Structure 1
Amino acid sequence: MAAKKLTTMSLIVLAMMTLHAAQVRAIDELNIGVKEGMGTCIKRCAIACIPILAPPRIAACAALCILACKLTPPTVVMDCTTGCTNSVIDTYKPTDVEKVNNIVGSCYKTCKHNNL
């Protein structure tokens, strides 16, 4: 059981680092404001996602959480992004954190375009 928790924590840290890099790029590219510091957001998201033991779900949880606290999209866009992400993960069953991050990003762009 301790090995699973260690693996889970390692994956969360990896996901957070990947998401942090993507988030910084997105903020720079989109020239958007942020409402809180990255550290606060990462801590909150890590705590929320720790109970999930499936690596793709951990990455998706973290990506969606960070998206919500950093970009604060409208509820309709966030709900659409969450549904889209879960559907694609269920269909393709990705095993790489970066693939999950790309899925969340793609779903967000599509949902934002279709709902704003």
Structure 2
Amino acid sequence: MHSTLIVARMASGSDRAVSEIFADFDRTEMPTLMGTRRRQLFAYRGLYFHLQDFEAGDGATRIEQAKTDPRFVAISDDLRPHIQAYDPQTWRSPADAMATRFYHWEASA
């Protein structure tokens, strides 16, 4: 399994609207097309964290490939009033908002 973590800024009180936007999106076939197995959204002091687990492979690449799909464009537009880039001057695509994992541990099976 591969995970990505997107970090951005979220408008105060937007957590419910953002949850509903993703619930609608996740009812489409897009998560399956992207290989998404699990999505978790977190908020902390004005920051937004979007943890997404993928079946296998590179999730960042899958997100980049999906970004031209009309459904992906639509959810991006719907999120715009609620989610802003962490650093708008350097943001060009979702890949610019992805945190870099520098440590990983998991229990043995």
- Same fold, TM-score > 0.5, yes or no: no
From the two aligned structures, give the one with the greater helix fraction: 1
User: Which TM-score applies when normalising by structure 2?
Assistant: 0.33
Higher relative contact order (CA 8 A, sep 6+): 2
From the two aligned structures, give the one with the greater strand fraction: 2
